[in-house]
Structure 1
Amino acid sequence: MTEARLPPGTRVGRVALTVADASEVAEFYDAIVGLAVHDRGGDRVVLGDGETPLLELREHPSAPERPRSAAGLFHTAFRVPSRRGLGDALSRIESSWQLSGMADHLVSEALYCRDPEGNGVEVYRDRPRSAWETTADGGVRMATDPLDAAGVRAAATGATGVPDGTDVGHVHLEVTDLDAAREFYADALGMTVRTTYDGAVFLAAGEYHHHIGANVWHGRSAPASGRGLAWFELGLPSDAAVAAARERLAAAGYEVATASDSVRVTDPDGIELRLRA
């Protein structure tokens, strides 16, 4: 019998962006976010922490801008392992870029900005899970409160790059229909709804606060197109877990393709998701 949910060991893997100028965008993720370039060649730049590739930039100068009505990326959220790493990120953004927001989400502390082509970026650090509060329905309590920016600044060490262990903690999407997104990511794929806000749903494998967020805050009404998010992946703990997820998606009526490195499917808004062990 196929398992009904994604296993708790599931994590977000790489995120791929279609960009007009890969060199300019890579410079931002290197100098400001603090990722290191792992590979550069032709129309492709791969960046990550000291060990793991996290972000892939695909250069397509002729690709049109993402239409204002189109679904797609709200932000890629890079998770640093400590408040020190968050303080260093805040220092780099404030000294050399433009901060667009900061927040205390109770489960995490977060900074927000945009890359040179307008793609949303979050850098955050989680609080210990022992400090997370559970809601009456078994979810996780989150909020958008003011950040203790002075405390975050005081934690900075002056590092120019992200610490080892930085990863993509979650991907937040702009979708056209929350019910359709929930049917795909929860009912078919097997994630659990961890909390909801007005116009947003946050889903995870296991008891993390969220691996995927989806919102309708800007009234997107058309499928994903143009520059921006090309695909993102979830890393599952085994080939058997990938096969079970593939079976669930196919049984729910979604078209699933198998490539050499992953199982691939598009969500109801045309956003490509890749699953791999």
Structure 2
Amino acid sequence: MPQDGESPAGRTSGPGRDGGVPSNVPASLLDTAPYRIGSVTLVAQDLDGLARFYRTALGLVTVSQNADVVRLGVDETVLLELRHDPGARPWSPGEAGLFHTAFLLPSRGDLGAWLAHAAERGLHLSGAADHLVSEAVYLTDPEGNGIEVYVDRPSVEWPREEDGTFAMRNDRLDHAGLLRAAPGRWTGMPAGGRVGHVHLQVGALEPAERFYAGLLGFDVRGRYPGATFLGSGGYHHQLATNVWNSLGAQVRPAGMAGLGEVTLLIETEALATVRARSRDGDLSVEEAREALIVRDPWGTLLRLTPAGAVVLR
């Protein structure tokens, strides 16, 4: 949803972390859902500069790299892959693509520590909001890719609408309370940090829902004017789509900077369902080693990777 103040157009020291899954959310919602986010790939015009930003701003570490690719994450887990293409055409905010990559922190104290770090570094924040299910802060990387840094509220407190979907709002963030919750200084992305969800820009909501819910099997977990939130396994959303800036957008052309692909970790049963739908002619897919590659109606590439598998590109 549009953030407060935004147009619609490592580790912390001290206690407060369990070293893994955020304590506010049961492991079943994050680690055993039929779908969860593995990593996000961005096409970078300035590879070194963009990698430096994510190391400095978010505390990601280099997991591996070569001349044209830098993979960043936590310990040995890749969360973000940067692919160098200095000749890529800059992505325009009115086109389909990435609205933001959302990095989920393990605790409220971690978000408070990161807020203090952002202030010390002079990072420009484009928005901040309490969404009832989560508390979130927003910024943009040097090449225009949106970023969310957030923490979930306890899942037992997530409010519901009358139709059973989650109620998500855009209330004022308790900035001072988050700073007080910080157990120490930010020293890098915590061990439990992950990409919690990815928010996409699309050209229209109905065909996006037919693709992501009807074909891939996500549940519609919430609606907001101009946006749909799609979840799996009871989580409020692993994916979202919106038309705030991109209503009427066409298929993404090749050779564009910005979003390259999203890797979704998928459980065996869900993967078999997608494959069956592709055989029935409902979905065009491409086999890539163990992964299944699909594209949404705007050309956004999704790599469906069996959970627990290591897929070499």
Alignment TM-score, normalising by the size of structure 2: 0.83
Note the C-alpha offset of 1:242.
1.5
Q: Deviations over 1:222-255 (max 9, x none)?
A: 22241100000110133x4312222224535321
Aligned-partner Cα distance in 1 for 2:143–2:127: 17
Give the counterpart letter for 2:78 in structure 1.
P
Aligned-partner Cα distance in 2 for 1:202–1:250: 27
Q: Does 1:144 align with 2:170?
A: yes
The runs of at least 4 aligned residues of structure 1 exceeding 6 Å deviation read: none
Give the counterpart letter for 2:104 in structure 1.
R
Question: Which of 58, 69, 92 is 2:83 aligned to?
Answer: 58
Aligned to 2:134: 108
Note the C-alpha offset of 1:9.
4.0
Question: Which of 230, 234, 237 is 2:264 aligned to?
Answer: 234
Aligned to 2:303: 274
CA RMSD of aligned residues (A): 1.5
Aligned-partner Cα distance in 2 for 1:272–1:197: 24
Q: Does 1:24 align with 2:54?
A: no
46-55 or 171-180: which moved more? 46-55
Q: Does 1:205 align with 2:232?
A: yes
Contact residue 139 and residue 146 of structure 2 kept, 8 A: yes
Give the counterpart letter for 2:252 in structure 1.
A
Give the counterpart letter for 1:187 in structure 2.
G
SS in 2 for 1:222: coil
Rate the CA distance shift 1:17–1:250 in 2: closer, same or farther, 3 A. farther
Aligned to 2:223: 196
Q: Deviations over 1:31-71 (max 9, x none)?
A: 11111111121110001112411100001000110134420
Contact residue 188 and residue 252 of structure 1 kept, 8 A: no
Contact residue 189 and residue 249 of structure 1 kept, 8 A: no
Aligned to 2:284: 255
Rate the CA distance shift 1:204–1:250 in 2: closer, same or farther, 3 A. farther
SS in 2 for 1:181: helix
Contact residue 234 and residue 273 of structure 1 kept, 8 A: yes
SS in 1 for 2:289: coil
Rate the CA distance shift 1:250–1:23 in 2: closer, same or farther, 3 A. farther
5+ residue gaps in structure 2? 1-31, 307-313
Give the counterpart letter for 2:258 in structure 1.
G
Contact residue 188 and residue 249 of structure 1 kept, 8 A: no
Aligned-partner Cα distance in 1 for 2:209–2:224: 13
Alignment TM-score, normalising by the size of structure 1: 0.93
Q: Does 1:224 align with 2:249?
A: no
Contact residue 79 and residue 168 of structure 1 kept, 8 A: yes
Contact residue 69 and residue 222 of structure 1 kept, 8 A: no
Contact residue 34 and residue 89 of structure 1 kept, 8 A: no
Contact residue 277 and residue 283 of structure 2 kept, 8 A: no
Aligned-partner Cα distance in 2 for 1:267–1:34: 31
Number of aligned residues? 270
Question: Which of 148, 154, 158 is 2:180 aligned to?
Answer: 154
Question: Which of 138, 158, 162 is 1:132 aligned to?
Answer: 158
Aligned to 2:8: none
Aligned-partner Cα distance in 2 for 1:73–1:199: 15
Aligned to 1:246: 275
